[in-house]
Amino acid sequence: MALIKVVDLSKTYDNEGVKTAALCGVSFNIEKGEFVSIMGPSGSGKSTLMHILGLLDRPSDGKYFLDGEDVSQLEDNALATLRNKKIGFVFQAFNLLPHTTVFENVELPLIYDRKSNENNRPRVLAALRSVGIENRAEYFSNQLSGGEKQRVAIARALVNDPDVIFADEPTGNLDSKTGVRVMEIFESLNRHGHTIVLVTHETVTASYANRIIKILDGRIVSDRAVSEKKRMAVENKKRIK
């Protein structure tokens, strides 16, 4: 059974009677343990698709099954509960609380899920350790570099042990060298069994994945495994950095 299954997914926005189709009958599966990039230019529909897959928005039509459950018509409270338990997010803008410690930022999903505070510390430190930033636990997030902030954001996405991590342009606010390091973290997480779905417009960033779904004008135009040639290009970029 696929972890993610979407069938004829469509999304239309209505702005004062003007209808705009953002997604048009999109269908695909993502299996547990895959690393998939969703790639396309601005306005292609990839961010809309990410928001629907991450339970931040609803489709206008079609079906979305997450771990076998049809989540297309769930109420808002049910969606929020499912989102916190099964999904981790990493955003381009980091979305950290600026005057809060690294530890407290990473702990937030556990607090929302009403986890016992006694168990929070080892889980938070384990998440920070997995991205190599445990030594910054008591720093305030506004004291960190861009790359460190993104590591904290990844740790926060991991702390609830989600079924899937969605990353929306995670290297967009980083220099190329730091971006490579962040993508290597995603590679490592995937090797350890985490399902990663990455949205990007950058070809090299997309090629860290095992599979690239290209979207244009709300439709899938290709869905292919990453070629060995692209993998070699990524490895060469790493060596240069």
Contact 136, 170 (CB under 8 A): no
CA distance 111 to 4: 26
Does the pLDDT value for residue 238 go beyond 80? no
Average pLDDT score over residue span 35-41: 95
15, amino acid identity: N
Backbone angles phi, psi at 154, to 5 degrees: -65, -40
Least confident window among 63-77, 88-102, 226-240: 226-240
Residue 43 gets the label, from left (phi > 0), alpha (psi -120 to 50) or beta, of left
213 pairs with which residues across the strands? 38, 223
CA distance 206 to 124: 29
For strand 69-70 and strand 87-91, is the pairing parallel, antiparallel, or unpaired?
Answer: unpaired
DSSP state of 4: E
Q: What pLDDT score does 128 carry?
A: 95
Q: What pLDDT score does 26 carry?
A: 96
Percent of the chain with pLDDT over 70: 92
For the entire predicted model, the pTM comes to: 0.89
Q: What is the CA radius of gyration of the chain?
A: 18
Percent of the chain with pLDDT over 90: 72
Burial tier of 126 (Cβ tally within 10 Å: 0-12, 13-18, 19+): middle
